[in-house]
Structure 1
Amino acid sequence: MYHLTALVTLLAVAFCFFTSINVARSRAKTGVKVPAMSGHPDFERAFRIQMNTLEWIPIFLPSLWVFAIYISDAIAAAIGAVWIIGRVVYFIGYSKEAAKRGRGFAIQAVASFALWIGALVAVLWRLVL
Protein backbone atom coordinates (compact mmCIF):
# COMPACT_ATOMS: atom_id res chain seq x y z
CA MET A 1 0.00 0.00 0.00
CA TYR A 2 1.11 3.55 -0.70
CA HIS A 3 -0.62 5.48 2.05
CA LEU A 4 2.22 7.96 2.63
CA THR A 5 2.67 8.74 -1.06
CA ALA A 6 -1.10 9.17 -1.39
CA LEU A 7 -1.06 11.63 1.50
CA VAL A 8 1.79 13.64 -0.05
CA THR A 9 -0.08 13.63 -3.38
CA LEU A 10 -3.17 15.05 -1.70
CA LEU A 11 -1.08 17.69 0.08
CA ALA A 12 0.53 18.69 -3.23
CA VAL A 13 -2.91 18.99 -4.83
CA ALA A 14 -4.09 21.06 -1.84
CA PHE A 15 -1.11 23.37 -2.34
CA CYS A 16 -2.03 23.77 -6.02
CA PHE A 17 -5.57 24.63 -4.97
CA PHE A 18 -4.18 27.15 -2.45
CA THR A 19 -2.13 28.87 -5.18
CA SER A 20 -5.28 29.13 -7.32
CA ILE A 21 -7.18 30.76 -4.45
CA ASN A 22 -4.23 33.08 -3.92
CA VAL A 23 -4.42 34.26 -7.54
CA ALA A 24 -8.14 34.99 -7.16
CA ARG A 25 -7.48 36.86 -3.92
CA SER A 26 -4.69 38.82 -5.58
CA ARG A 27 -6.97 39.78 -8.48
CA ALA A 28 -9.51 41.18 -6.04
CA LYS A 29 -6.87 42.98 -3.98
CA THR A 30 -5.03 44.55 -6.93
CA GLY A 31 -8.01 45.18 -9.22
CA VAL A 32 -6.67 43.07 -12.12
CA LYS A 33 -9.86 42.04 -13.94
CA VAL A 34 -10.38 38.77 -15.79
CA PRO A 35 -9.08 37.95 -18.42
CA ALA A 36 -6.05 40.21 -17.87
CA MET A 37 -2.86 38.37 -16.95
CA SER A 38 -0.81 41.39 -15.95
CA GLY A 39 -1.19 44.85 -14.54
CA HIS A 40 0.06 44.80 -10.96
CA PRO A 41 3.35 43.32 -9.69
CA ASP A 42 1.68 41.60 -6.71
CA PHE A 43 -0.83 39.90 -8.99
CA GLU A 44 1.85 38.94 -11.51
CA ARG A 45 3.95 37.30 -8.79
CA ALA A 46 0.91 35.39 -7.46
CA PHE A 47 0.09 34.24 -10.98
CA ARG A 48 3.67 33.12 -11.68
CA ILE A 49 3.76 31.18 -8.41
CA GLN A 50 0.64 29.32 -9.49
CA MET A 51 1.87 28.72 -13.03
CA ASN A 52 5.31 27.57 -11.93
CA THR A 53 3.73 25.15 -9.46
CA LEU A 54 1.49 23.78 -12.20
CA GLU A 55 4.51 23.48 -14.53
CA TRP A 56 6.30 21.28 -12.01
CA ILE A 57 3.35 19.04 -11.09
CA PRO A 58 3.69 16.81 -14.22
CA ILE A 59 7.38 16.31 -13.38
CA PHE A 60 6.83 15.75 -9.67
CA LEU A 61 3.76 13.50 -9.43
CA PRO A 62 4.70 10.73 -11.89
CA SER A 63 8.24 10.65 -10.49
CA LEU A 64 6.84 10.47 -6.95
CA TRP A 65 4.60 7.53 -7.77
CA VAL A 66 7.07 5.56 -9.86
CA PHE A 67 9.64 6.02 -7.08
CA ALA A 68 7.11 4.83 -4.48
CA ILE A 69 6.13 1.78 -6.52
CA TYR A 70 9.65 0.69 -7.46
CA ILE A 71 11.65 1.80 -4.41
CA SER A 72 9.75 2.83 -1.27
CA ASP A 73 6.52 4.48 -0.22
CA ALA A 74 8.12 6.06 2.86
CA ILE A 75 11.17 7.43 1.05
CA ALA A 76 9.05 8.77 -1.82
CA ALA A 77 6.75 10.46 0.68
CA ALA A 78 9.68 11.98 2.57
CA ILE A 79 11.19 13.40 -0.62
CA GLY A 80 7.71 14.49 -1.71
CA ALA A 81 7.31 16.35 1.58
CA VAL A 82 10.59 18.14 0.84
CA TRP A 83 9.13 19.13 -2.55
CA ILE A 84 6.08 20.63 -0.83
CA ILE A 85 8.30 22.47 1.66
CA GLY A 86 10.31 23.82 -1.27
CA ARG A 87 7.12 25.03 -2.96
CA VAL A 88 6.05 26.77 0.27
CA VAL A 89 9.48 28.44 0.59
CA TYR A 90 9.18 29.44 -3.09
CA PHE A 91 5.70 30.86 -2.45
CA ILE A 92 6.83 32.91 0.55
CA GLY A 93 9.94 34.26 -1.14
CA TYR A 94 8.37 35.03 -4.51
CA SER A 95 5.36 36.68 -2.84
CA LYS A 96 7.72 39.22 -1.32
CA GLU A 97 10.02 39.75 -4.30
CA ALA A 98 10.86 37.82 -7.47
CA ALA A 99 14.55 37.71 -6.56
CA LYS A 100 13.71 35.77 -3.37
CA ARG A 101 12.29 32.71 -5.14
CA GLY A 102 15.61 30.92 -5.68
CA ARG A 103 15.96 28.95 -2.45
CA GLY A 104 12.50 27.42 -2.67
CA PHE A 105 12.93 26.70 -6.36
CA ALA A 106 16.22 24.91 -5.69
CA ILE A 107 14.72 22.79 -2.88
CA GLN A 108 11.81 21.57 -4.98
CA ALA A 109 13.97 21.06 -8.08
CA VAL A 110 16.45 18.87 -6.17
CA ALA A 111 13.58 16.85 -4.68
CA SER A 112 12.00 16.39 -8.11
CA PHE A 113 15.33 15.41 -9.64
CA ALA A 114 15.98 12.88 -6.84
CA LEU A 115 12.57 11.29 -7.40
CA TRP A 116 13.00 11.20 -11.17
CA ILE A 117 16.53 9.79 -11.12
CA GLY A 118 15.60 7.23 -8.47
CA ALA A 119 12.54 6.15 -10.42
CA LEU A 120 14.46 5.94 -13.70
CA VAL A 121 17.29 3.89 -12.18
CA ALA A 122 14.82 1.53 -10.48
CA VAL A 123 12.83 0.95 -13.67
CA LEU A 124 15.97 0.41 -15.76
CA TRP A 125 17.35 -1.95 -13.10
CA ARG A 126 14.16 -4.04 -13.27
CA LEU A 127 14.31 -4.10 -17.07
CA VAL A 128 17.88 -5.42 -16.99
CA LEU A 129 17.16 -8.16 -14.43
Structure 2
Amino acid sequence: MGDYVYPGIVSSLALLVCYYTLLRSGIARRKFKIEPPAHTGPEEYERYVRAHQNTIEHLVLFLPGLWLFSLAWNPVVAAVIGATWLPGRLFYAHGYYRSAPARRPGLLASMPAVYILVLGSLIGFVAELFRA
Protein backbone atom coordinates (compact mmCIF):
# COMPACT_ATOMS: atom_id res chain seq x y z
CA MET A 1 0.00 0.00 0.00
CA GLY A 2 2.90 2.33 0.75
CA ASP A 3 2.25 6.03 0.39
CA TYR A 4 -1.27 5.41 -0.93
CA VAL A 5 -2.36 5.03 2.67
CA TYR A 6 -2.40 8.85 2.89
CA PRO A 7 -4.95 9.53 0.12
CA GLY A 8 -6.85 6.56 1.54
CA ILE A 9 -7.10 8.29 4.92
CA VAL A 10 -8.13 11.58 3.29
CA SER A 11 -10.76 9.73 1.22
CA SER A 12 -12.17 8.08 4.34
CA LEU A 13 -12.31 11.42 6.14
CA ALA A 14 -14.03 13.02 3.12
CA LEU A 15 -16.71 10.33 3.26
CA LEU A 16 -17.15 11.06 6.97
CA VAL A 17 -17.57 14.76 6.18
CA CYS A 18 -20.28 13.78 3.72
CA TYR A 19 -21.90 11.54 6.31
CA TYR A 20 -21.79 14.39 8.82
CA THR A 21 -23.76 16.63 6.44
CA LEU A 22 -26.20 13.75 5.85
CA LEU A 23 -26.68 13.34 9.60
CA ARG A 24 -27.24 17.07 10.08
CA SER A 25 -29.81 17.13 7.27
CA GLY A 26 -31.61 14.17 8.87
CA ILE A 27 -31.67 15.92 12.23
CA ALA A 28 -33.05 19.04 10.51
CA ARG A 29 -35.73 16.90 8.86
CA ARG A 30 -36.95 15.84 12.30
CA LYS A 31 -36.59 19.31 13.76
CA PHE A 32 -38.70 20.91 11.02
CA LYS A 33 -41.09 17.92 10.76
CA ILE A 34 -40.45 17.25 7.07
CA GLU A 35 -41.94 13.89 6.10
CA PRO A 36 -40.09 11.73 3.55
CA PRO A 37 -39.78 11.89 0.60
CA ALA A 38 -40.25 15.68 0.71
CA HIS A 39 -37.14 17.84 0.43
CA THR A 40 -38.87 21.17 0.68
CA GLY A 41 -39.82 23.11 3.74
CA PRO A 42 -38.68 26.19 5.59
CA GLU A 43 -35.58 27.89 4.21
CA GLU A 44 -33.64 26.88 7.31
CA TYR A 45 -34.32 23.20 6.58
CA GLU A 46 -33.48 23.54 2.89
CA ARG A 47 -30.06 24.99 3.74
CA TYR A 48 -29.19 21.76 5.60
CA VAL A 49 -30.32 19.68 2.63
CA ARG A 50 -28.36 21.85 0.17
CA ALA A 51 -25.21 21.68 2.30
CA HIS A 52 -25.41 17.89 2.11
CA GLN A 53 -26.33 17.82 -1.59
CA ASN A 54 -23.50 20.20 -2.46
CA THR A 55 -21.04 18.07 -0.51
CA ILE A 56 -22.08 15.02 -2.54
CA GLU A 57 -21.64 17.05 -5.74
CA HIS A 58 -18.14 18.04 -4.67
CA LEU A 59 -17.20 14.46 -3.76
CA VAL A 60 -17.82 13.49 -7.38
CA LEU A 61 -14.94 15.77 -8.37
CA PHE A 62 -12.82 15.57 -5.23
CA LEU A 63 -12.36 11.81 -4.78
CA PRO A 64 -11.41 10.94 -8.38
CA GLY A 65 -9.24 14.06 -8.50
CA LEU A 66 -7.43 12.98 -5.33
CA TRP A 67 -6.68 9.51 -6.66
CA LEU A 68 -5.81 10.61 -10.18
CA PHE A 69 -3.38 13.20 -8.79
CA SER A 70 -1.91 10.47 -6.58
CA LEU A 71 -1.23 8.36 -9.66
CA ALA A 72 -0.06 11.22 -11.89
CA TRP A 73 2.22 12.89 -9.37
CA ASN A 74 2.57 11.77 -5.77
CA PRO A 75 0.14 10.27 -3.24
CA VAL A 76 1.59 12.17 -0.27
CA VAL A 77 1.32 15.52 -2.06
CA ALA A 78 -2.22 14.61 -3.17
CA ALA A 79 -3.17 13.82 0.43
CA VAL A 80 -1.75 17.10 1.71
CA ILE A 81 -3.69 19.06 -0.93
CA GLY A 82 -6.79 16.96 -0.32
CA ALA A 83 -6.61 17.46 3.43
CA THR A 84 -7.32 21.16 2.89
CA TRP A 85 -10.70 20.25 1.40
CA LEU A 86 -11.91 18.65 4.65
CA PRO A 87 -12.08 21.67 6.97
CA GLY A 88 -13.16 23.85 4.05
CA ARG A 89 -16.25 21.67 3.47
CA LEU A 90 -17.11 21.64 7.18
CA PHE A 91 -16.72 25.43 7.26
CA TYR A 92 -18.94 25.58 4.16
CA ALA A 93 -21.67 23.43 5.74
CA HIS A 94 -21.69 25.33 9.01
CA GLY A 95 -21.83 28.61 7.14
CA TYR A 96 -24.76 27.36 5.06
CA TYR A 97 -26.59 26.24 8.20
CA ARG A 98 -26.50 29.90 9.33
CA SER A 99 -27.40 31.55 6.01
CA ALA A 100 -26.88 31.04 2.28
CA PRO A 101 -24.35 33.90 1.95
CA ALA A 102 -22.35 32.58 4.93
CA ARG A 103 -21.43 29.47 2.92
CA ARG A 104 -19.15 31.44 0.60
CA PRO A 105 -15.93 31.50 2.71
CA GLY A 106 -16.07 27.71 3.12
CA LEU A 107 -16.63 27.30 -0.61
CA LEU A 108 -13.64 29.50 -1.36
CA ALA A 109 -11.56 27.51 1.14
CA SER A 110 -12.47 24.11 -0.31
CA MET A 111 -12.51 24.74 -4.06
CA PRO A 112 -8.77 25.25 -4.65
CA ALA A 113 -8.08 21.65 -3.63
CA VAL A 114 -10.56 20.37 -6.21
CA TYR A 115 -9.10 22.55 -8.98
CA ILE A 116 -5.50 21.64 -8.13
CA LEU A 117 -6.22 17.91 -7.92
CA VAL A 118 -8.29 17.67 -11.11
CA LEU A 119 -6.24 20.02 -13.28
CA GLY A 120 -2.97 18.80 -11.78
CA SER A 121 -3.80 15.20 -12.62
CA LEU A 122 -4.67 16.15 -16.20
CA ILE A 123 -1.37 18.04 -16.54
CA GLY A 124 0.52 15.09 -15.06
CA PHE A 125 -1.03 12.57 -17.44
CA VAL A 126 -0.57 14.79 -20.51
CA ALA A 127 3.06 15.38 -19.49
CA GLU A 128 3.48 11.61 -19.28
CA LEU A 129 2.42 11.32 -22.92
CA PHE A 130 5.33 13.54 -23.93
CA ARG A 131 7.81 11.57 -21.80
CA ALA A 132 6.92 8.31 -23.49
Q: TM above 0.5, one fold?
A: yes
Q: What's the TM-score once normalised by structure 2's chain length?
A: 0.94
SS in structure 2 at match of 1:101 = helix
Task: Please give the alpha-carbon distance, in whole angstroms, between the structure 2 residues aligned to 1:13 and 1:87.
Answer: 11
For 1:31 and 1:42, the matched residues in 2 are separated by 12
Q: Distance in 2 between matches of 1:64 and 1:55?
A: 15
Q: Give the Cα separation in 2 of the matches to 1:55 and 1:103.
A: 18
> Normalized against structure 1, the TM-score is what?
0.96
Structure 1: distance between partners of 2:50 and 2:115: 21
Out of 12, 15, 23, the position equivalent to 1:13 is 15
Q: What is the aligned partner in structure 2 of residue 32 from structure 1?
A: 34
Q: Does 1:55 align with 2:57?
A: yes
**Aligned positions, number:** 129
CA distance in 2, matches of 1:77, 1:43: 33
User: Which sections of structure 2, spanning at least 5 residues, go unmatched?
Assistant: none
- Consecutive unaligned residues in structure 1, runs of 5 or more: none
Moved over 3 A (4+): none
Let me know the Cα RMSD of the aligned residues. 0.9
Give the SS at the match of 2:84: helix
Q: What is the aligned-residue identity percentage?
A: 33
What amino acid does structure 1 have at the position aligned with 2:6? L
Alignment equivalent of 1:116, drawn from 115, 118, 129: 118
The Cα of 1:42 is off from its aligned counterpart by: 1.9
- Residue from 84, 88, 91 that aligns with 2:90: 88
Q: Which residue of 1 aligns with 2:129?
A: 127
Letter of the structure 1 residue corresponding to residue 102 of structure 2? K
